[in-house]
Chains A and B, each alone.
Chain A
């Protein structure tokens, strides 16, 4: 069976500004980001014949196609999994292009949550499904779900308590050089630990903000991408994963809650690309809360189980010249919460050599969606 490894590439990236309140709708920012990505690639709206999006935004792929004046939309899908779907639209765009369903696919995410009430701010009269066993006890928001097992992680791993805070500090340092970032003022570990407690052991500065904005990329064949104006970011491997007895955010009903879906994705991702964690020069890992970054480091094999806290505390992610440079755009926590789709764009910048925290000599970049829910990821090469 032929693999799609190395047969497609990201040829263009586009984004709106990120802001607390952007002042116009998701339908508009989606189009702005898509047009910017096409312009970056040197293509036009007339070239588009595939559209892939993340769930939970205004407008279906065919609505977007109409608004772009697309003649024939030949492949489309909406990928579920919330933050776990951050890489999903690129995964399916690559599959559709590699199999000939379409030639130029858009993958995008518009997300305006800065302007919206959080979905968990209200509660239904009666809670159904698995959440019926969480909400009545006061486990309501994602921060609380992640905090619930983060304490167990510290206990089992023996990692220093401030290892989570260090992730926020490192990412803010990267954001301080990035003019797109919503938060750019450098912070210290003391700043993080003295910020307001949200859900113990997580403080305010260990949680991503809610922001408005949109991001898009253009996926096409490697051959076509090489004829376009930007250096292609070749999609070397893709993966999606959900695992046996997984439950969202806590994974509490799996035999080992710290064996996250992303660990399964990693196996397929590296297998498809013929690469391993030792080949990765920069990692863009989902970060809605600091512990989740550590889970990404372990899931993608940069650390063994229980070692990520020690790895971070030892300075292994500090800066663009670190042992493993990480979230060099500032991530969801400091650049803006585009549900991890902004990590996709930063992966491309690192391959092109155009990041504001550029890692020297990048041959391989890994982009990973939220590891703690049904997830997706891909590897980029030159």
Chain B
């Protein structure tokens, strides 16, 4: 890795752990979460058992991709080099229609248009051959 790309390195997820099926799905541009076989709770982030009822059996199912903007911040330097080079850096929390909340980013929404409960839909940011991150865009946009 060149010195330049070292400095610019973005933190990326380990896609081999309990969340592997999540990352396999995002690679296909599909958003999936875990559902509990016992209580049917939709669960994110991925875990080894249901954190609502403790049952061990979980299945991965696609969700609608529809969400609302729950909250956001805009990070200012000092930041990790990758983000500093692109600062100020907005980060959002969204609430999926199915319930779980996720940390993410909005594409194609100017910061001045951010509003609580803004309707959103899922999109995907391809990082490399293996990793696609879940991002969101304005619903119907």
Contact = CB atoms under 8 A, between A and B. Distances in A.
A129 interface: yes
Contacts of A148: 71-73, 91-93, 103
Contacts of B103: 133-134, 137, 139, 148, 250, 252
B131 to A, nearest CB: 8
Interface in A79-127: 121, 123-127
A155 interface: yes
Contacts of B127: 136
A190 interface: no
A149 B11 contact: no
Contact of A152 (B70, B105, B133): B70
Interface in B34-83: 44-45, 51-52, 70-76, 79-80, 83
B76 A126 contact: no
Contacts of A135: 11
A136 B75 contact: no
A133 B18 CA distance: 13
Interface in A53-67: none
B129 interface: no
Of B11, B14, B91, most buried by chain A (CB within 10 Å of CB) is B11
B73 A137 contact: no
A250 B73 CA distance: 12
A200 B52 CA distance: 32
A140 B100 contact: no
B126 interface: no
A132 B13 contact: yes
Contacts of A141: 75
Contacts of B83: 138, 140
A127 B100 contact: no
Contacts of B133: 136-137
Contacts of A125: 9, 12
A134 to B, nearest CB: 5
Interface stretch (A11-19, A191-199, A373-381): A191-199
A338 B44 CA distance: 34
Nearest to B53: A244
Contacts of B101: 252-253, 257
Nearest to B102: A133
Interface string A247-259: 1001011000100
A138 B89 contact: yes
A132 B74 CA distance: 19
Nearest to B117: A155
Interface in A133-169: 133-141, 144, 147-152, 155
Given A140-B79, A199-B73, A245-B52, A123 B11 contact: yes
B85 to A, nearest CB: 11
Contacts of A149: 71, 93
A250 to B, nearest CB: 7
Interface string B17-47: 1010000000000000000000000001100
B6 to A, nearest CB: 10
A126 B13 contact: yes
B44 A253 contact: yes
A144 B91 contact: yes
A128 interface: yes
A151 B45 contact: no
Interface string B102-141: 1111000000000010000000000100000100000000
Contacts of A244: 51-52
A341 B129 CA distance: 47
Contacts of A139: 73, 75, 91, 103
A155 B13 contact: no
7 contacts: A125-B9, A126-B13, A127-B14, A133-B44, A140-B11, A150-B73, A200-B73
- Nearest 9 pairs between A and B by C-beta? A152-B71, A132-B13, A147-B73, A135-B11, A126-B14, A123-B11, A200-B74, A128-B14, A148-B73
Given A125-B9, A135-B11, A198-B76, 19 more contacts: A121-B80, A125-B12, A126-B12, A126-B14, A126-B15, A132-B14, A136-B12, A136-B127, A137-B105, A139-B75, A139-B91, A140-B79, A140-B80, A147-B73, A152-B70, A199-B74, A200-B74, A245-B52, A253-B45
